[in-house]
Structure 1
């Protein structure tokens, strides 16, 4: 089942018009959400990021779009798909109502909610080999639009194809200043000694949910300093550890970049703390 504007529809009957603005112009924002046994993980952060994204895109937020209303919409769909006692992945997509060309006829929105099953209830530490490379064909623009999740993901799509063609597990994206911004599917963290760095939002990094949680966690750890600062590609091979974060996998350690192989002790420790916070939050 899929939720289309508050109505539950069977997957095979869930359709949108070819003139849908999300399809035609990428006039759409979305959230990828993790639900465990009927509980939305980090729901408050997801809700406020969605509202901020809609405001940045100048979408009209419906009066009934309260945290409680949207939470109920999500949980009802999870239940209808018989996943209330299972881990689930939810995509909540908001798009502007059909009409107009670049300039929309209306600022009002519609939405769709999809759900699929996940295999594990909490984040597991992945010890598999994981190699990354820079994707330099196209760049992420620094600025506010790059910090939100829109349907304009051409760079991520092309980077994913490049990674597959060259047998990389992931690629790291650069902004117009040639600074590291993020991975194809999440934020990037660099560990060097007692310092951990992650690119600032002003460089164009996504305002990630797990990124925010880890910034909070790391600040509570004695003898470790966290910095939101630009990262040069030259710093990657000098790092002790690199890892990627997103709401579905939690923390993905990077084991190799070019000739450098990385340790994983810090990322493993942080993943334990992230799981605790997810259970309590």
Structure 2
């Protein structure tokens, strides 16, 4: 089942040859984690989605309030396979018509959902190796910070990682600084300083990034900053970890010949789960 414009249906029957999301990548989306009948970090997701719609000049439907969004997600989740948690995705795309210039800025939406096998966030054990993806770069611009369906850098980077036996890759921006990972934000610990690239460097304005920044600032003795990260900085780091709202916090164990610990990442996973349970 899917939720198409507020109706639970088995098939949207969208004509793909007319769909602007397919033809031009004219779509924005939001990925959510649902736990115990609640959308985690609902307010953050809602306001990021609304901001994305405004930035790309899509008309926001009057009925699409935060309460409506939550209701539509939970209706869909209740209709599919029961599981400890669920992953849901809301995609907005402009109505058909036009080429690069749309004839209509009004939108439609689809919500999809799938079960997850773990309820709260787990601390992942085992090797997780990354390297740089240098074939293409992330632009330092506002559009790079949004979740749109223009993801060819992430797709080709994922293929590169798979072909080279890597678990993930780190993306560079057009100033050759590290912006983010293929599917998440990057955090780097050096000594007692935890750094993540600023949104102005072109990284996704991540929901989990925001949660981790807030949690880390409460850790005694830990200095937290948003600052540019060079590839050279990675070699001096004590820990690297990647964040997104589905997996939570994933420690990196190896970058080239450098191996990393995970003490701070492990602590932050515990703090994250405590926050989720209280929300």
TM-score with structure 1 setting the length: 0.97
Deviation at 1:107, TM superposition (A): 0.7
Deviations 1:163-192, CA, capped at 9 Å, x for gaps: 000000000000000000000000000000
- Hey, what does 1:61 align to over in structure 2? 60
Question: Does the 8 Å contact 2:129/2:166 carry over to 1?
Answer: yes
User: What is the aligned partner in structure 1 of residue 211 from structure 2?
Assistant: 213
Equivalent residue of 1:277, what SS?
Answer: helix
Matched with 2:7 is 7
2:46 is paired with a residue of what secondary structure?
helix
Tell me if 1:144 matches 2:138. Answer: no
Write the deviation string for residues 48-73 of structure 1: whole angstroms up to 9, x where unpaired. 00000101110000110101111100
Provide the aligned length of Structure 1 versus Structure 2.
278
Q: 1:128 aligns with which of 98, 119, 126?
A: 126
Match for residue 267 of structure 2 among 262, 266, 269: 269
Match of 1:241 in 2: 239
Partner of 2:92: 94
Aligned pairs (5 A) from 1:142-221 = 142-221=140-219
Structure 1 residue runs without a partner (length 5+): none
Deviation at 1:15, TM superposition (A): 3.1
Deviating beyond 2 angstroms after TM superposition, the runs of 4 or more aligned structure 1 residues are none
Deviation per residue, 1:130-171 (Å, 9 max, x gap) = 000100000000111011100000000000000000000000
Q: Which runs of 5+ in 2 are unaligned?
A: none
- 1:263 deviates by 0.3
Cα deviation, 1:211-241, whole Å, max 9, x if unaligned, reads: 0011111111121111100000001011000
Following TM superposition, by how much is the alpha carbon of 1:7 offset from its aligned partner in structure 2, in angstroms? Answer: 1.3
Provide the secondary structure at the position in 2 that maps to 1:29: strand
Secondary structure in 2 matching 1:236: helix
Find the residue that maps to 1:156 and give its secondary structure: helix
Q: CA RMSD in A?
A: 0.9
Q: Deviations over 1:52-102 (max 9, x none)?
A: 01011100001101011111000000111143x630000110111111100
SS in 1 for 2:59: coil
**TM-score, normalised via structure 2 length:** 0.98
Q: Which residue of 2 aligns with 1:278?
A: 276
